[in-house]
Amino acid sequence: MSAPFDSAPVGPADPIEPLIWPMDPGVDWAQLIVWLGWGLLGLVFILAWWLWRRRFAPLARWQRQAARLQAQWQATALPGERLADNQRWQLYALFQSAPYLDATSESHQRLQSLCFSREPVSRETLEQALEALQQAVMHQARSHRSNGWTRWRPRVVKRRTR
């Protein structure tokens, strides 16, 4: 006994396979929607990466530099005066590259006097200044983050008050 599919006609008489295929199948809407979806997802990832680099990456990079500098200070065995002078300039360079830090703050003036004084400065004083600088940067970063999107917000407030 033969199976029922053996008796089905095969070839041009088969209604499932037409003899002449259409030349222009038209737009494959399913494929177009899939490509648009992937494109939008890619744009979302690029936007998220850009926002992260703009908002969080400078602070994370600066924190790594500060931690590296602190570890380097603890591991060095240079003579006292030369070490203190080297540490002064490293601390000043770290301060200059600090994100979100107000240059008119009290810590800025204290650090300026510490880095540019002619008197010898102890290693402990410089380490305390580094810790104070880290705390000041973190405080400024937290207040900057709590302000929301600070780029366009003041302009909107100005427009409303006119």
pTM score over 0.75: no
Q: Taking the domains of the chain in order of start, what are their residue ranges? A: 57-73+80-146
pLDDT computed for residue 111 by the predictor: 78
Q: How confident is the model at residue 47 (pLDDT cuts 50, 70, 90)?
A: very high
Three-state DSSP at 79 gives coil
- 120: number of CA atoms within 13 Å, CB side? 8
Three-state DSSP at 62 gives helix
111 Cβ neighbours under 8 A, 6+ residues apart: 91, 92, 95, 129, 133
Average pLDDT, the chain: 75
Q: How confident is the model at residue 10 (pLDDT cuts 50, 70, 90)?
A: low
Find the range with the poorest average confidence among 104-108, 129-133, 157-161.
157-161
pLDDT computed for residue 32 by the predictor: 92
